[in-house]
Amino acid sequence: MLQGDFARAERVYRSNLAFVRGLSVRNPGNVELRRDVWYTMMSLGDALTAQQKYEEAHTLYADALDLIRQLLQADANSFDLQRDLGGNLERLGERALAARDQPAALRYFEEALALARRLQLSDPSSVELERDLASSLTDMGDALARGDDFRGARECYQESLAIRERLSEANPNIMEFQRDLVIGYQRMAALPGGEHYWQLALDVAERMAQAGTATPRDAQMLEDLRRRVRDR
C-alpha cells in the first residue's frame, strides 16, 4: 500500500471511529458496538503506524487495550475477545520494542504468549492457534534478543520454528506457512552462531519461487537471502 493510501485509510478510520463511538455511547449495553469501537481503534492505529505517527498510534493501542480488558471482564471466556486481546498486546509490544523500551515490550509479549499458550491448549488441533503461538514465541524472542538474552531468545525461536516446520511440511502448498518458515530461519540466523540458517531460509524461498506463486515481496526476500548467503 502506498503512503497516500494509508493517509486515506486514516481519514476513513477516523470518520468510522467517530461514528461507532457515537452509536456505542447511545447504546452502552451493546457489546458488539463496543467491539466495533475496539476494532476501528486498532485499524486507525495501524494506519497511523504505517505513516510513522507512532505517538498517536500508541495512545490508540493503549486505549484499545483498556476497552478490550473491560469487555473481557464481562465475558472472560470469549474466544474472540481473548484473541483480540492477544493482537492488542502484540501491537503494544511491537511499539515498545521499536521505541527501545525493552522492559515494556517484555511485559506485553509475556502476557500475549501466556494467552496464546492457553488458547492453543484449549484447541490443539487448530492450525490458526498454532500459528498464533509461533508468532507470540517469535515476538518474545525478539524482545529477549534486544536485551542480549540470546539463550532465552534461541529457546523461543526454536520452539516457534518447530511449529513452523511442522505446519510447512504438512501444508507445502500454502505459501503463508512457507513464509512463516523463512521468518523462523531468519530469526535463528540472526543469533550468534546461527549463520547456517540463512541457507535453510534461502532453500525455502527458492522453492516458493519455483512453485510460481511468489509475490513481488517474496521475490525481494529471495534476492536478500541470496545476498546474505553469498556474502557470508
pLDDT digits (tens, 9 = 90+) for 201-216: 999 999 999 988 789 9
> Shortest CA distance to 166 belongs to which of 151, 155, 177?
177
pLDDT digits (tens, 9 = 90+) for 50-68: 999 999 999 999 999 999 9
Query: What residue has cell string 502448498?
Result: 173
Report CA dihedral (91, 94, 96, 98) to the nearest 10 degrees.
Answer: -140
The domains of the chain are located at: 1-76, 178-232
Percent of the chain residues past pLDDT 70, beyond the cut: 98
How far apart CA 152 and CA 158 sit, in angstroms, is 10
Which pTM does this prediction carry? 0.92
Average pLDDT, the chain: 95
What residues have CB less than 8 Å from 56, skipping those under 6 apart? 48
Within 10 A of 209 (CB to CB), how many other CB atoms are there? 14
- Three cell numbers, residue 143: 524482545
Helical pair 31-50 and 3-26, crossing angle rounded to 10 deg: 160
What is the pLDDT averaged over residues 212-230?
A: 92
pLDDT of residue 4: 65
* Model confidence band, residue 141 (pLDDT cutoffs 50, 70, 90): very high
pLDDT of residue 30: 95
The distance of Cα 37 from the centroid of its chain, to the nearest Å, equals 21
What is the pLDDT averaged over residues 133-142?
A: 98
Q: Report H helices in 51-149.
A: 54-74, 79-98, 102-122, 127-146
- Three cell numbers, residue 115: 494467552
